[in-house]
Homo-oligomer: A and B are copies of this chain.
Amino acid sequence: MYNSEQLLLRVKSALSEIKFDNNNPNELYQPITYTLNLGGKRIRPVMVLLACDLFGGDIETAINPAIAIEIFHNFTLLHDDIMDNAPIRRGKETVFKKWNTNVAILSGDTMFALAYKYLVKSKAQNIQSILDIFTKAAIEVCEGQQYDMNYETEYNVSIPEYIEMIRLKTAILIATSLRTGAVVAGADKTDVENIYLFGENVGIAFQLMDDLLDVYGNQDVFGKKIGGDIVTNKKTYLLIKAMNEAKDNDLAELKKYFSSTNFNDEEKIKSVTTIYDRLGIRESTNSMINDCYNKALTYLSKISVDADKKTIIKKYADQLVIRDF
């Protein structure tokens, strides 16, 4: 079996081999190449290979679906950045800022088609299942993004609504990566379902940790400016939980701060964090993460593969959920 570092190298090598037939029109393929070279942890393709390897499949049969999912993921980021008006992604200008919105729309569309190109290329026996699984996930990711946009302007978002949104927007693609690897390897139906549910819960825990680190992370390790979500009034688990728990002065102050972006950033971050501290939001978020992750591990334990074979995938999930970056 391969460890995740070896699989990451395999993914990186496959990504570096992506070539376009003629690179024309340049205006279309330049931003695609730029986007695919922005880097990132390549979590999803690594997960495709991890799951394939776990069930005894040949990882080479899973490499094209893995690349397909990574291209799709990068396409969603590209279009999300337009919708969120985000100027920076992974420390570099986003495509719509560097080029323009039209280029970002169209190169994104092309990447979506390219994702299918790699999926179809896989020539797997079970191509129909793989395509079904991927297409279902693609639609759900779009639904998640729509909910995320809706919640920007919605005052009352409940915790179940928020969890459902991050399930669709983030967790499902992680779950689908694992499911795809398992299907390629020919795992049985129950195992495929269990690794999907493992991934779904890992994905939710992963996003909650992202929310938490945005407030309580170590800036040098996290790589993003701490408090960004607070400054931009982003609905996160921490904010929704705090809104539910806060009373009187705390509630009034939260409402005040999240009604506008016309505050001194540092002061706003400090004040909101103080309220979060008083309400024990860090602890309750951590507890929610643990609950999700334990649920994930229950599904992992049900998978009919020797426990020692599961240590690689378990270690990888640990790194995603229990991290400070």
Contacts and interface: CB of A to CB of B under 8 A. Distances in A.
Interface of A: 24-25, 27-28, 79, 82-83, 101-102, 105-106, 108-110, 112-114, 116-117, 120, 123, 127-128, 131-132, 135-136, 138-139, 142-143, 145-147, 149-150
A82 to B, nearest CB: 6
Contact of A135 (B120, B132, B150): B120
A321 to B, nearest CB: 28
Contact of A117 (B135, B146, B150): B135
B132 A120 contact: yes
B139 A117 contact: yes
Most chain B C-beta atoms within 10 Å of own C-beta, residue among A106, A117, A147: A106
A106 B28 contact: no
B106 A142 contact: yes
A178 B45 CA distance: 35
Determine how many copies of this chain the complex contains: 2
24 contacts: A25-B143, A25-B147, A25-B150, A28-B143, A79-B105, A82-B101, A82-B102, A82-B105, A102-B149, A105-B105, A106-B142, A106-B149, A109-B112, A113-B135, A113-B142, A114-B139, A116-B131, A117-B135, A117-B139, A120-B131, A120-B132, A127-B127, A127-B128, A127-B131
Contacts of A114: 139
The SS class assigned to the A binding surface is helix
Which of A83, A102, A142, A145 counts the most chain B CB atoms within 10 A? A142
Contacts of A128: 120, 123, 127
Contacts of A83: 102, 105-106
